[in-house]
């Protein structure tokens, strides 16, 4: 599984919040997105990146499918126009049984 975490900083929060609400509403409707999380910072140490969303994909093909998905276009357009983004992608570790002697490779 691949996870994409996007931190968002904006001076147009209402517009971004509308797009993030639409994104959250896609949960379970877009096959290439395994999970969607949307949140606002509660800690106050976010350096202005006070909104975030995290997308879970099964593999690189799912990421490509999301890039081409019609629901992605308005989100991408609004975020690139109205926000600064920090994007972090990573593979989630494979869970192996405790009896397996192999180490996880990242």
Mean pLDDT by 10 residues, the chain (106 residues): 96 94 94 95 92 96 94 93 95 61 47
Q: What is the pLDDT of residue 105?
A: 47
- Domain with 68 in it: 2-91
- 48 inside domain: yes
pLDDT at 93: 77
Closest CA to 4 of 60, 50, 44: 60
Domain with 77 in it: what CATH number? Answer: 3.30.70.100
Length of the chain: 106
Q: Would you say residue 42 lies in a domain? A: yes
Classified as helix, coil or strand, 83 is coil
Can you give the pLDDT at residue 103?
A: 46
Tell me what pLDDT residue 94 has: 56
CA–CA separation, 58 and 81 (whole Å): 28
Q: Total domain count for the chain? A: 1
Residue 9 lies in a domain: yes
What's the pLDDT at 98?
A: 46
Evaluate whether 52 touches 38 at the Cβ level (below 8 Å).
yes
Residue 99 included in any domain? no
Q: Looking at residue 92, what is its pLDDT?
A: 86
Instruction: Give the tokens for residue 21.
Output: 């609400």
Q: Would 32 be classed as within a structural domain?
A: yes
Q: Which segments within 1-106 are labelled E, that is strand?
A: 2-9, 35-40, 51-57, 84-91
């Amino acid at each position: 599984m691949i996870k994409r975490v996007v931190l968002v900083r904006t001076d147009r929060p209402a517009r971004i919040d509308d797009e993030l609400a639409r994104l959250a509403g896609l949960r379970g409707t877009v096959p290439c997105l395994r999970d969607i999380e949307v949140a606002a910072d509660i800690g106050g140490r976010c350096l202005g990146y006070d909104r975030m969303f995290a997308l879970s994909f099964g593999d690189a093909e799912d990421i490509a499918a999301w890039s081409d998905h019609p629901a992605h276009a308005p989100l991408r357009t609004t975020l690139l126009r109205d926000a600064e983004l920090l994007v972090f992608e990573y593979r989630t570790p494979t869970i192996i049984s405790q009896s397996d002697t192999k180490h996880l490779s990242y």
